[in-house]
């Protein structure tokens, strides 16, 4: 018995010892873990914003610290070894108390809103293996104490606002364990502190792009023989291309040296040594050397580069000579850019062997000879840019084989012959620009019927003749048509009115004649119309004056006659728009006034009228009576239709307003009440009998199928969503022959009217107002994406669909092509399927449409994020995306990104002139400049090509809210104190690792 008691007592002692070691006396936690928990609580006290409630478990006394979100403990030591809180939208500072987590191996606080300095105490975490603080708002210098992290192999501090030099101790700490280093997208300066005494033999990824580093690529990098990825793009590095260093990287996959000050060998005349150094890098996939002013010829050895090479960027250099045919050995190349160099001679036909090519840029060189017909054999070619060269001959008929071709740019060459009708087989073509050549003949009807064209069709400055093909009316998605400076004749067909997406039309400098079709003024998005230097005659249609979108008009040097008013779209025009039309008179300054007829002329005219008045009244009175009867019948039909739709109206629970009430409120839908036009109808302003000011969106009944879907969709969404930044619906009027939405009238109109003042609006919005508006839009969109009872993808976010109420609060409107997120729990299966499909509708407006939609991808919330990013860039640059597409040949994102980060001065200066309040104190200039830079960066992040790399609308709304709050209470302190330049979101290209 005693033996048993002794054994039992011994066992109890062992168990109590275990409890004391691991949980403390009387069941309390391990004292070491208590210290860890205390450090985390101190860290939590520095968190001032937790919108996702990511730290909820940290505040619960019933949850063990090892079960807190983002925490992982070691099973062996019962100590915290991992703190992972990335993408939690946390805001605040990083507490030095984290240095007490002495067993910590992984610390990841990336993609949040942390501000302030990086605590130097983190350098005391001796066990730390991985440290990621990227995509925050951290500033100051990199702590030299990080040199004590001997076990660190992963370091990511990218995309903050760090400055100063890299501390030498970071790379020279007696340890070569670092494998991944990302310090990109900061403001770091000085030389890269690598010496032969400090070797990083394990280094595989070294990313320093978009900083201010100077000097040469350190020779000590040649010791990093396992390097796979080197990105030094967008710095101020100099010297010869590092051929001797690169030669030691047999595993190299990605090499980015673009936009520095590198030169080639032998005083910038010899590129061969560098390309030779890459021949043995058998895994090389992407090589970027653009924007370095590199000189020399393209060597024959370029064709000996590894066959795995997918992208080659050599644009914006001083490379001369011919394109070596041997380059065709790069059979896996999908992207080739040799534009903006000094290349000459002909294009080698051997390029057709590169069967995987998707994008080819050879523009802005001095290439000559004919375009090789063999290029038509590159089946996957989606973009071919041969513009601004000296190419001659005709356009190859073989281009008809390029069924994937989306953009064909051949402008500013010396091409002749006729346009091959076979180009009409390029059914995916979105841009066709053959301008500034010597092309003759008529415009082939097959090419004019390219309904796939979505951006622009430019045949200007050629020798084309013949009439305008009626098939041009099939271009119902094209933004711009430029046929100017040719020899085109005949009339302008009224079928042009079918080009409903058209914004720019230029037919100047031809021999067109006859009257202008009334349908031109009914195009809902038309912004600019140039008809000058033709032989057009007759009156100028009133529909052009009534257009709510037209801003630029040129009727000069034609044979127009009649009265011209200075109202509507003509209110901002000067006499320069009407020169050379001797038959015109009117109210435009400098134009002769229209003389009234004398009294006796009036008497002479009235006499026959009086003689025949009675018969005329008899003849004309009968149709009037019929019209009254028809109106009565329509009211009877309206009542019957309302009864048929009673069930739907009752479900919507809106006040009933009859068709007659709407008609009377809008002056029977008079053109003078028109305030907007769109794809599915017109919007009229009106006043009800109770003095309620309304906007009536009347849908176009000629597109019955699409109309029904659009109407149902908009009614459903407006009925089920409620938010201060979304337009509310007053009621609907739904009959078989008439469907309308009745909305509150927004007295300040659309955001578009304020961005591009016209028709009496002369004052632009200031930066404070614009940021508030963008914040409102982001809040409304975040609600639709994340909080609404029905999750909605808007699909058409743009300035004209953002309305401003009395106090300039922004409201998102026009849900006609919106989609409900598939599988929404609040919708029936049939409704979900109906709303989640595209139904054949274009998902948005050109310039704002996410690029993935053009590749057949389904709509998603990330498409709206892209549109919001375009909106931000449009506000800052003052340029509509379509204007950039037409004049720059690129998207607004691409155009701004080419100037990011070092060439933004002109954009910022222009934005300060137009968006900053004139009465602001001068010491606010730096603050406003930083805000503009912040908007540019956020816009670029939202418009990244990969949808997965864009931030969510919830994160965007929080970022815009911080900017709005800061600008509401400005102080002469830099914005960096509140929200430093940079971004907390991930991206690609020049914004993240590519």
Secondary structure, 3-state, 656-691: CCCHHHHHHHCCCCCHHHEEEEECCEEEEEEECCCC
What 3-state class would DSSP assign to 737? coil
Beta bridge partners of 683: 676, 697
Report, as an integer, the average pLDDT of 678-690: 76
> Is a pLDDT exceeding 60 seen at residue 760?
no
Contact in structure between 497 and 526 (CB atoms under 8 Å): no
Query: Looking at the predicted structure, is the pLDDT value of residue 464 above 90?
Result: yes
pLDDT value of position 485: 96
Please choose, from the candidates 665, 697, 656, 691, the residue with its C-alpha nearest in 3D space to the C-alpha of residue 678: 697
Q: Using DSSP, state whether 358 is helix, strand or coil.
A: coil
Please tell me if the domain spanning 642-745 has the same topology as the one spanning 749-994.
Answer: no
Under 8 Å between Cβ of 554 and 530: yes
Q: Which band of pLDDT confidence, cut at 50, 70 and 90, is reported for residue 818?
A: low
Burial annotation 407-442 (CB, 10 A radius, 16+ → b, else e): bbbbbbbebeeebbbbbbbbebbbbbbbbbbebeeb
pLDDT tier at 928, thresholds 50, 70, 90? confident
Radius of gyration for the alpha carbons in the chain, expressed in angstroms and rounded: 34
Neighbouring-strand partners of residue 812 = 726, 802
Task: Judge: domain 642-745, CATH 3.30.300.30.
Answer: no
For residue range 853-905, list pLDDT tens digits in order: 765 567 788 999 999 999 999 999 988 888 888 777 778 988 888 888 777 88
- Which segment of 274-278, 459-463, 519-523, 836-840 scores lowest on mean pLDDT? 836-840
Q: Could you tell me the pLDDT band of residue 610, with boundaries at 50, 70 and 90? A: very low
Find the catalytic residue in 385, 482, 796, 955: 796
How would you class 830 by CB atoms within 10 Å of its CB: exposed for 0-12, middle for 13-18, buried for 19 or more? exposed
Q: Report the alpha-carbon distance of residue 463 to residue 692 in Å, rounded.
A: 57
Structure tokens at 575: 């006499």
Tokens 């003689």 label which residue?
Answer: 611
What are 56-92's pLDDT values in tens digits? 999 998 999 999 999 999 987 789 999 999 989 899 9
pLDDT of residue 615: 45
Q: Mean per-residue pLDDT for 390-408? A: 94
Is the pLDDT reported for residue 18 higher than 60?
Answer: no
Q: Bin 745: left if φ > 0, else alpha if -120 < ψ < 50, else beta.
A: beta
* CA–CA distance, 486 with 506 (Å, rounded to integer): 11
Rounded to an integer, the average pLDDT of 245-269 is: 95
Distance CA 367, CA 162 (A): 45
- Cis peptide leading into residue 60 (ω within 30°): no
Token digits of residue 689: 């009998």
Query: Which CA distances in Å does 528 have to 457, 506, 710, 844, 882?
Result: 15, 8, 28, 21, 12
Could you tell me the pTM of the whole model?
0.73
Q: Would the CA dihedral through 927, 928, 930, 935 be positive or negative?
A: positive
What local confidence, expressed as pLDDT, does residue 651 receive?
39
- Copy the structure tokens of residue 509: 């400098």
User: Residue 941: pLDDT above 50?
Assistant: yes
Q: How far is 104 from 80, CA to CA, in rounded Å?
A: 6
pLDDT at residue 649, rounded to an integer: 40
User: Residue 471 above 50 pLDDT?
Assistant: yes
By the 10 Å C-beta count (0-12 exposed, 13-18 middle, 19+ buried), 743 is classed as buried
Please name the residues in contact with 62: beta carbons below 8 A apart, sequence gap of 6 or more: none
Domain ranges of the chain: 491-594, 642-745, 749-994
Domain formed by 749-994, architecture: Orthogonal Bundle (1.10)
Long-range residue pairs from 59-63, CB within 8 A, at least 24 positions apart, any chain: none
* Token pair 């960066």 in the structure block, residue: 937
- The single-letter DSSP state of residue 596 is P
Beta bridge partners of 320: 297, 342
For position 396, what pLDDT does the model report?
A: 96
Rounded CA separation 144/118 (Å) = 11
Q: What angle do CA 893, 895, 896 make, to 5 degrees?
A: 70
**pLDDT tens readout for residues 559-591:** 999 999 888 888 888 899 999 999 999 988 889
Contact call for residues 437 and 416 (beta carbons, < 8 A): yes
CA 407/CA 851 separation, integer angstroms: 14
Average pLDDT, the chain: 82
Phi and psi of 257, rounded to 5°?
-125, 15
User: What are the tens digits of pLDDT across the range 911-927?
Assistant: 887 766 555 555 566 77
Question: CA 497, CA 541: separation in Å to the nearest integer?
Answer: 13
Angle at 688 between CA 682 and CA 694, to 5 degrees: 40
With a CB cutoff of 8 Å and minimum separation 6, the contacts of 301 are 272, 275, 276, 279, 326
The CA distance from 52 to 31, in Å, is: 31
- The C-alpha angle with vertex 476 and arms to 473 and 480, in degrees rounded to 5, equals 90
Neighbours of 854 (CB within 10 A): 14
Whole-number pLDDT of residue 964: 85
Considering Cα of 960, then 964, then 967, then 973, what sign does the dihedral take? negative
Q: For the chain, give the percent of residues with pLDDT over 70.
A: 80
State how far the Cα of 736 lies from the Cα of 268, in Å rounded to an integer. 75
Q: How far is CA 790 from CA 392, 501, 823, 857, 860, in A?
A: 58, 30, 10, 21, 14
Length of the chain: 994
Whether 796 is a known active-site residue: answer yes
For the chain, the distance separating the N- and C-terminal CA atoms, rounded to the nearest angstrom, is 75
| Strongest mean pLDDT among 682-686, 838-842, 884-888 | 682-686
Cα 334 to Cα 314, 381, 746, 801: the distances in Å are 14, 9, 49, 38
CA distance 385 to 408: 6
Contacts of 17 (CB under 8 A, 6+ apart): none
Q: What are the phi and psi torsion angles at 804 (to 5°)? A: -125, 125
d(CA 551, CA 758): 7
Distance, in Å, from the CA atom of 211 to the CA atom of 215, rounded to the nearest integer, reads 13
Q: Between the CA of residue 276 and those of 90, 300, 301, 302, 870, what are the distances in Å? A: 49, 10, 7, 8, 42
The Cα 442–Cα 421 span in angstroms is 10
Nearest to 434 by CA among 454, 405, 464: 464
Q: Quick one: tokens of 521?
A: 């003024």
627, burial (CB in 10 Å: exposed 0-12, middle 13-18, buried 19+) = exposed
Contact call for residues 517 and 492 (beta carbons, < 8 A):
yes
CATH class of the domain at 491-594: alpha beta
């Amino acid at each position: 018995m005693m033996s048993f008691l002794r054994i039992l007592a011994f066992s109890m002692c062992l168990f109590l010892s275990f409890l004391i070691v691991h949980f403390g006396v009387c069941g309390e936690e391990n004292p070491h873990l208590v210290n860890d928990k205390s450090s985390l609580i101190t860290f939590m006290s520095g968190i001032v914003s937790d919108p996702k409630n990511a730290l909820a478990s940290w505040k619960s006394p019933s949850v063990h610290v090892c079960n807190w979100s983002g925490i992982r403990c070691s099973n062996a030591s019962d100590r915290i070894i991992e703190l992972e809180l990335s993408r939690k939208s946390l805001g605040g500072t990083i507490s030095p108390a984290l240095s007490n987590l002495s067993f910590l191996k992984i610390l990841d606080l990336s993609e949040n809103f942390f501000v302030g300095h990086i605590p130097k105490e983190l350098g005391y975490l001796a066990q730390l293996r991985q440290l990621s603080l990227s995509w925050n708002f951290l500033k100051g210098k990199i702590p030299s104490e990080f040199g004590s992290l001997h076990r660190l192999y992963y370091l990511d501090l990218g995309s903050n606002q760090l400055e100063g030099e890299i501390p030498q101790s970071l790379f020279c700490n007696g340890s070569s364990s670092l494998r991944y280093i990302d310090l990109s997208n900061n403001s770091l300066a000085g030389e890269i502190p690598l010496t032969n005494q400090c070797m990083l033999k394990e280094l595989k990824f070294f990313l320093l792009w978009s900083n201010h580093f100077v000097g040469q690529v350190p020779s000590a990098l040649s010791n990093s023989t396992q390097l796979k990825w080197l990105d030094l793009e967008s710095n101020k590095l100099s010297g010869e291309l590092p051929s001797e260093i690169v030669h030691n990287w047999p595993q190299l996959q990605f090499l980015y040296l673009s936009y520095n000050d590198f030169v080639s060998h032998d005083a910038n005349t010899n590129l061969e040594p560098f390309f030779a150094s890459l021949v043995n890098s058998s895994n090389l996939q992407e090589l970027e050397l653009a924007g370095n002013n590199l000189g020399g010829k393209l060597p024959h050895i370029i064709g000996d580069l590894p066959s795995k090479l997918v992208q080659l960027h050599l644009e914006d250099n001083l490379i001369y000579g011919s394109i070596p045919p041997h380059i065709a050995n790069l059979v896996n190349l999908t992207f080739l850019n040799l534009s903006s160099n000094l290349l000459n001679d002909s294009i080698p036909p051997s390029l057709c062997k590169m069967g995987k090519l998707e994008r080819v840029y050879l523009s802005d060189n001095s290439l000559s000879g004919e375009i090789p017909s063999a290029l038509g054999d590159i089946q996957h070619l989606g973009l071919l840019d041969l513009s601004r060269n000296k190419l001659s001959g005709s356009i190859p008929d073989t281009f008809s084989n390029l069924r994937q071709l989306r953009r064909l740019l051949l402008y500013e060459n010396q091409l002749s012959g006729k346009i091959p009708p076979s180009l009409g087989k390029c059914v995916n073509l979105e841009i066709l620009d053959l301008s500034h050549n010597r092309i003759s003949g008529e415009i082939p009807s097959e090419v004019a019927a390219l309904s796939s064209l979505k951006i622009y069709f430019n045949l200007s400055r050629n020798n084309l003749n013949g009439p305008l093909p009626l098939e041009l009316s099939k271009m119902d998605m094209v933004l711009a048509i430029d046929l100017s400076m040719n020899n085109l004749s005949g009339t302008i067909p009224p079928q042009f009115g079918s080009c409903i997406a058209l914004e720019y039309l230029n037919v100047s400098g031809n021999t067109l004649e006859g009257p202008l079709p009334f349908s031109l003024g009914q195009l809902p998005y038309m912004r600019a119309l140039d008809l000058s230097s033709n032989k057009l005659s007759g009156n100028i249609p009133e529909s052009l004056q009534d257009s709510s979108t037209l801003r630029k008009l040129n009727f000069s040097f034609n044979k127009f006659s009649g009265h011209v008013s200075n109202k509507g779209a003509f209110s901002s025009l000067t006499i320069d728009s009407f020169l050379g039309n001797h038959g015109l008179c009117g109210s435009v300054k400098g134009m002769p006034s229209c003389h009234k007829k004398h009294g006796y002329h009036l008497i002479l005219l009235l006499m026959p009228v009086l003689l025949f008045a009675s018969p005329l009244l008899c003849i004309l009175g009968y149709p009037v009576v019929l019209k009254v009867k028809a109106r009565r019948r329509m009211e009877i039909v309206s009542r019957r239709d309302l009864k048929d739709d009673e069930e739907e109206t009752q479900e919507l629970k809106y006040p009933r307003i009859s068709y007659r009430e709407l008609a009377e409120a809008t002056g029977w839908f008079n053109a003078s009440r028109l305030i907007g036009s769109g794809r599915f109808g017109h919007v009229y302003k009106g006043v009800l009998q109770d003095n309620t000011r309304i906007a009536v969106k009347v849908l176009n009944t000629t597109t019955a199928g699409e109309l029904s879907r659009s109407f149902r969709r908009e009614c459903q969404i407006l009925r089920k969503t409620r938010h201060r930044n979304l337009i509310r619906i007053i009621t609907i009027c739904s009959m078989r022959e008439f469907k309308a939405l009745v909305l509150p009238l927004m007295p300040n109109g659309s955001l578009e009217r304020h961005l591009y003042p016209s028709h009496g609006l002369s004052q632009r919005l200031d930066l404070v107002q614009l940021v508030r508006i963008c914040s409102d839009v982001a809040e409304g969109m975040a609600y639709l994406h994340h909080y609404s009872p029905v999750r909605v993808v808007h699909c058409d976010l743009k300035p004209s669909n953002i309305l401003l109420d009395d106090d300039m609060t922004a409201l998102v409107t026009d849900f006609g092509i919106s989609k409900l997120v598939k599988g929404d729990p609040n919708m029936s299966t049939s409704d979900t399927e109906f709303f989640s499909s595209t139904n054949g509708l274009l998902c948005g407006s050109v310039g704002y449409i996410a690029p993935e939609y053009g590749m057949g991808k389904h709509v998603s919330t990330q498409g709206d994020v892209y549109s919001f990013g375009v909106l931000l860039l449009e506000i800052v640059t003052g340029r509509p995306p379509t204007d950039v597409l037409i004049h720059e040949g690129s998207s607004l994102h691409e155009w701004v990104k080419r100037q990011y980060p070092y060439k933004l001065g002109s954009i910022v200066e222009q934005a300060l002139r137009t968006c900053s309040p004139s009465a602001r104190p001068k010491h606010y200039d730096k603050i406003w400049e930083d805000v503009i830079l912040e908007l540019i960066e956020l816009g670029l992040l939202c418009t990244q090509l990969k949808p997965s790399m864009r931030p969510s609308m919830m994160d965007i709304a929080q970022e815009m809210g911080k900017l709005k709050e800061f600008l509401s209470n400005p102080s002469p302190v830099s914005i960096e104190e509140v929200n430093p330049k940079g971004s907390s979101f991930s991206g690609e290209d020049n914004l993240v690792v590519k």
